[in-house]
Amino acid sequence: MSRAHDEKPDPRPPTAPAPGSAGVRNLSKRFGAVQALSDVTLDFPAGRVTALMGENGAGKSTLLKILTGDHRPTAGSVLVDGAPVQLASPTDAHRAGIRIIPQEPEIIPHVSVAENVYVGALPRAAGRRLDRAELRRRITADLVRLGFDKVLDPDLLGSELTPAQRQLVEIMRALTGEAKVIAFDEPTSSLSEHEVDALFALIRRLRADGVAVVYVSHRMQEIFQLADRIAVLRDGALAGIQDAAATSEGDLVRLMVGRDLSSMFSRPHVATDRLVLDVRGLTTDDVRDIDLRIHAGEVVGLAGLIGAGRSELALALAGDLPVHSGTVTLDGRPLPTGRPGAVIRAGLGLAPEERKAQALFLHRSIRDNTSTVVLERLRRFRFVKRAAERDLAQQYTDRLRVRTPSIEHEVRKLSGGNQQKVVLARWLARKPKVLILDEPTRGIDVGAKAEIYRIIADLAAEGVAILVISSELPEVLGLADRIVVMQNGRITGELDRADATEEAVLSLAMADDIAPATPGAAA
């Protein structure tokens, strides 16, 4: 939700953070020839939520790493309670009362949730043995105090945790001891709606307790729900500070990217009458009686609430989940089921929701990740033609504007938006007839989103049939020629672009007369 106001607050930063708050003054950081931060002065007042926004590469992560003591600034200083502090290590930052909850939680797999939360400060009994009774008392009290008692089992091992539960453990760990500043880095990227509500309630309590909260997110709706003020970084410099109650989404986008993106969804209608994907009566453990058709050049949006079965349908079509009944044809030919390699060869590609866990080889290069589904075309006898592989990777890296020093750069070192482009580069190299994109813009900034939308439009113009799964209704409404809505593993309705509104989609997504799909049932 955005709020417009005729009068804009002065975007110039204060000369220095005030006593009782934390912040940075004249902060700069250079990595070789790259200027990551340039003369940033920004305060984080006690008892207020400061949202930190900017495109990937704007300097947000560098600023957070300086606050944690992971990076030393080239110039400038960090202040707590108005006084400069030296942060040579994360231990120094912790002592100073600074806590950062990272986007990628660090969990010890072989110990319990309780032990993960209090690692480094476990209660000890006589003989320095772990005091399990005291540990139980502490974790039970903290789970209730923080509102996580319904969503987190203290006895689960770290290896058994879902991505959402790992995030909650990291949050609890950060809240041990006295915290003056707590920064949340994209904390809701893997949380359910119920867990997000608990997190927001916690952040509001922290604000009421006088803690300075820094909230990093690309999700505008969250920013306007939580933030008192919004600081925007662009190209390593502070572009402006806005009062959240007196600004709009458009204002923030212009500060972030230096231009208006109001036309980012505009694209010509290029769908043809040629039916490419024809799904009839598809039934799996998670979905039932699915009928779905997509034509060449058509972008179909798949909407629904969490648990509706959208990702499960995508995985079934890609051959990753077993199909019990129904038929799927691609360009008039039966599509193999349960055989991902055969599905790829038939012309269907899937960019899954969890790109890091399901799509990317994080410690391999952009070249390796791009070529992985076309190696048979690049082989001579049993050997890969490396020159051809490099040319292919460079071609699609350039086409998709992947920001990287070279195609040999490890994918794990790229921003989220550039990682997503590498996933898309892989499928563009394969030249699929059908491409399924599951949450293609999750966790990436607004500028990168616009580039992803451009890529989708280009693919549709080339005649690719595209299925886009997204939890962001404005995205589905803006991208799709037609919207199919699911609930409880079944399709509840379909809307043409002209008739689709957020209210109409939500009405179909929350229909209460649809029974859930029966696991293992046949159509």
pTM assigned to the model = 0.61
Residue 54 zone, left/alpha/beta (φ > 0; ψ -120 to 50; rest): left
Write down which residue in 369, 404, 424 finishes a domain: 424
Please, which residues have CB within 8 angstroms of residue 108's CB and are 6 or more apart in sequence? 115, 116, 119, 158
Residue 354 lies in a domain: no
pLDDT value of residue 259:
61
Distances (CA, A) of 476 to 26, 148, 303, 505: 41, 32, 7, 10
Q: Which domain holds residue 378?
A: 361-424
Both 451 and 318 in a single domain? yes
Q: Please tell me whether residue 270 adopts helix, strand or coil conformation.
A: coil
Print pLDDT tens along the chain (523 aa): 333 333 333 333 333 444 447 899 999 998 877 788 999 999 999 999 999 998 767 888 899 999 989 999 999 999 998 899 999 998 899 889 898 888 777 889 999 999 998 887 888 887 778 888 899 999 999 898 888 888 889 999 989 888 778 878 888 888 877 788 999 988 887 777 777 887 888 889 889 988 999 999 888 888 999 999 999 998 889 999 999 999 988 888 888 877 655 566 777 788 899 999 999 999 999 999 999 999 999 999 999 887 889 999 999 999 999 999 999 999 999 998 888 999 999 999 999 888 888 888 889 999 999 988 887 777 777 787 888 888 988 998 888 888 888 999 999 888 878 888 899 888 888 889 999 999 888 777 777 788 888 889 999 999 999 999 998 888 898 899 999 999 999 999 999 988 888 888 888 887 654 444 544 433 3
pLDDT value of residue 511:
66
Both 521 and 436 in a single domain? yes
Contact 260, 253 (CB under 8 A): yes
Give 80's Cβ-side CA count (13 Å radius): 18
Residue 64 lies in a domain: yes
Task: Give CA–CA dist 389/378, Å, rounded.
Answer: 7
Both 323 and 436 in a single domain? yes
Write down which residue in 241, 257, 273 finishes a domain: 257
Distances (CA, A) of 190 to 28, 50, 155, 159, 185: 32, 22, 21, 16, 12
Q: Please tell me whether residue 392 adopts helix, strand or coil conformation.
A: helix
pLDDT value of residue 26:
95
pLDDT value of residue 40:
95
The enclosing domain of 274 has a CATH number of 3.40.50.300
Contact 306, 470 (CB under 8 A): no
Q: Please tell me whether residue 513 adopts helix, strand or coil conformation.
A: coil
Residue 154 lies in a domain: no
Residue 168 lies in a domain: no
Q: The tokens 């898309």 sit on which residue?
A: 424
pLDDT value of residue 262:
56
Phi and psi dihedrals of 439, rounded to 5? 50, 60
pLDDT value of residue 14:
38
Both 227 and 78 in a single domain? yes
Residue 320 lies in a domain: yes
| Single-letter code of the amino acid located at 330 | L
pLDDT value of residue 521:
39
Both 321 and 441 in a single domain? yes
Both 220 and 285 in a single domain? no
Of the candidates 85, 39, 72, the one whose C-alpha atom is nearest the C-alpha of residue 181 is 85
Task: Give CA–CA dist 495/490, Å, rounded.
Answer: 15
Alpha helices in 366-461 (DSSP H): 366-371, 375-378, 386-399, 416-430, 446-461
Contact 387, 393 (CB under 8 A): no
| Single-letter code of the amino acid located at 332 | G
Q: Based on the structure, what is the number of domains in the chain? A: 3
Structure tokens given for 173: 């760990």
Both 239 and 376 in a single domain? no
Task: Give CA–CA dist 64/289, Å, rounded.
Answer: 48
Structure tokens given for 415: 């921003």
Task: Give CA–CA dist 41/25, Å, rounded.
Answer: 4
Both 236 and 343 in a single domain? no
Both 253 and 265 in a single domain? no
Structure tokens given for 491: 């399709």
